[in-house]
């Protein structure tokens, strides 16, 4: 029900299109607060700077201009929840060949667009407008003696109800192959409780699949409870239902009661024995796109190009091309640092997306691309 002092007649008389504010009143606050859950969605997007998000900050896009609606169904694939009523992609506006500034680089960048999600280069850090929660240890909750400390961003590291946290700002994403499909663990699904980590969601993709692209993700890592006998994730009852509630964790701080009640509510048996396990969720990063001139440059990933002066690794060296300008000028982490962002460690970084972790032998210029028989250039002389 709305707040009592809201003049509902006035509201009804002023109906209008949805806006970042109307969608954001829920979606910016996922996970229990501003920017907690979605790294790339926060109240910062109400009035974002141009470099925070070019679409919303430069061109004042509202959510539904990309997340098109039809009969109140709203397009968009969430990575954190399974429901989808249509999909949204950069390509629906920018096409499969999105680089057209007229530079000699266009051809190369459009080739890259077959293997990389746009935001690999165009949003090289996440939560750059506001810190987001990346670690949540529920097992530490309930300690009435622990005083929350503030981290370097001024965010608390502890909450008695919720446990221990870590926050990140302007953080480097985790890169993974993604076909646009997710694998998910649902309530009641069996999990391997002896595995080091249980992925609640993870992208489905492979270096060998032409339909998969390297995609940036925020990792939400946590410690949460699993049923030690039934091998499924436990759902605790957190919010007190009313004043008489005798089981809610946020009232009684008793996990046993909270699990018994929570599992009853979802219709599953609780064995009475639980273990704390580390779980991960992959959250695709689709917002916070930076202006084009702030995208990653060639050398920020391709270490092999760092010493090069011209394009002569592959092309005849007789053109009037400013190699340094096109291959080196990219995301200016020094500038971002000067604007107060926590990116000092990214200045001069190369192999930004970690080729080996993605299944390459190393820099594809030297070792070959995923479908290329021949590498682009010679092994660099020492």
Partner 1 sequence: MIKRIIFLVTCLILTPVLCVAEVWKAPDQERAKERAKEVVPFVTEYKNDDQITRRISLMDTGISIQDVTDTYFLLDSPIIKKREDHYEPVRFSHKRHANLTNDCSKCHHYRPKDDTALETTRCSACHQDSFNPDHPERIGLKAAYHQQCMACHQEQAKGPVDCKGCHLQNVPDHKELVNLPDNADPFQVTAECLRCHDTQAEDMLTTAHWLWKGPSPYTTGHRKDIMHGKGTTALNNY
Q: φ, ψ for residue 372 (rounded to 5)?
A: -90, 135
Angle in degrees, CA 342, 344, 345, rounded to 5? 110
Contact residue for partner 1 among 19, 91, 96, 100 (CB under 8 A): 100
Indicate the helix (H) or strand (E) that contains 277. Answer: strand 274-284
**Within 10 Å of residue 129's Cβ, how many Cβ atoms?**
25
Contact residue for partner 1 among 22, 29, 31, 377 (CB under 8 A): 31
Please choose, from the candidates 243, 244, 222, the residue with its C-alpha nearest in 3D space to the C-alpha of residue 234: 222
Q: Is 181 in the site for partner 1 (CB under 8 A)?
A: yes
Please choose, from the candidates 361, 370, 353, 376, the residue with its C-alpha nearest in 3D space to the C-alpha of residue 174: 353
Q: Is 45 helix (H, G, I), strand (E, B) or coil?
A: helix
Q: Is 136 in the site for partner 1 (CB under 8 A)?
A: yes
Q: Is 314 in the site for partner 1 (CB under 8 A)?
A: no
Q: φ, ψ for residue 324 (rounded to 5)?
A: -60, -40
**CA pair distance 287, 54, nearest whole angstrom:** 9
Draw the binding track, 202-241, toward partner 1 (x: CB under 8 A; -: no contact). --x---------------xxx-x--------x-x------
Contact residue for partner 1 among 44, 80, 247, 260 (CB under 8 A): 80
Residue pair 291/50 in contact by the 8 Å Cβ criterion:
yes
**CA pair distance 362, 355, nearest whole angstrom:** 6
Contact residue for partner 1 among 39, 52, 66, 182 (CB under 8 A): 182
- Which CB, 60 or 348, lies closer to partner 1? 60
- Which CB, 172 or 204, lies closer to partner 1? 204
Q: Is 187 in the site for partner 1 (CB under 8 A)?
A: yes
Q: How far is the CB of 234 from partner 1 (least distance, A)?
A: 10
Q: Is 193 in the site for partner 1 (CB under 8 A)?
A: no
Residues that bind partner 1 in the complex, under the rule CB under 8 A: 1-2, 7-9, 11-17, 31-32, 36-37, 47, 50, 56-60, 65, 71-74, 77, 80-85, 87, 93-95, 100-102, 133, 136, 138, 180-188, 200, 204, 220-222, 224, 233, 235, 279-281
């Amino acid at each position: 029900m709305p707040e009592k002092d809201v003049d509902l007649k006035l509201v009804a008389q002023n109906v209008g299109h949805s806006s970042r504010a109307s969608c954001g009143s829920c979606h910016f606050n996922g996970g229990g607060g501003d920017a907690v859950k979605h790294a790339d969605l926060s109240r910062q997007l109400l009035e974002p700077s141009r470099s925070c998000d070019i679409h919303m900050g430069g061109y004042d896009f509202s959510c539904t201009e990309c997340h098109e609606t039809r009969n109140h169904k709203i397009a968009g694939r969430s990575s954190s929840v399974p429901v989808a009523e249509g999909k949204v992609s950069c390509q629906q506006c920018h096409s499969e060949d999105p680089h057209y500034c007229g530079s000699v680089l266009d051809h190369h960048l459009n080739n890259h667009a077959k293997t990389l999600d746009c935001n690999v280069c165009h949003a090289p850090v996440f939560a750059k407008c506001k810190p987001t929660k990346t670690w949540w240890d529920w097992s530490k909750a309930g300690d009435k003696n622990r005083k929350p400390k503030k981290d370097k961003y001024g965010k608390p590291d502890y909450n008695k109800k919720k446990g221990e946290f870590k926050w990140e700002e302007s953080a480097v994403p985790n890169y993974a192959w993604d076909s646009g499909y997710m694998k998910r663990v649902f309530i009641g699904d069996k999990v391997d409780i002896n595995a080091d980590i249980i992925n609640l969601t993870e992208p489905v993709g492979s270096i060998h699949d032409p339909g998969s692209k390297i995609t940036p993700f925020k990792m939400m890592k946590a410690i949460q409870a699993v049923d030690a006998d039934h091998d499924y994730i436990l759902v605790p009852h957190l919010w007190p239902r009313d004043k008489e509630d005798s089981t809610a964790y946020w009232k009684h701080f008793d996990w046993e009661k909270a699990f018994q009640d929570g599992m009853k509510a979802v219709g599953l048996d609780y064995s009475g024995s639980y273990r704390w396990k580390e779980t991960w969720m992959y959250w695709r990063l689709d917002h916070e796109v930076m202006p084009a001139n702030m995208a990653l440059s060639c050398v920020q990933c391709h270490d092999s190009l760092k010493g090069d002066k011209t394009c002569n690794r592959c092309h005849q060296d007789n053109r009037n091309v400013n190699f340094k300008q096109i291959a080196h000028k990219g995301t200016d982490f020094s500038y971002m640092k000067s604007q107060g962002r926590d990116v000092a460690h990214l200045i001069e970084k190369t192999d930004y997306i970690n080729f080996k972790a993605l299944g390459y032998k190393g820099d594809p210029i030297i070792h070959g691309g995923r479908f290329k028989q021949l590498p682009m250039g010679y092994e660099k002389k020492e």
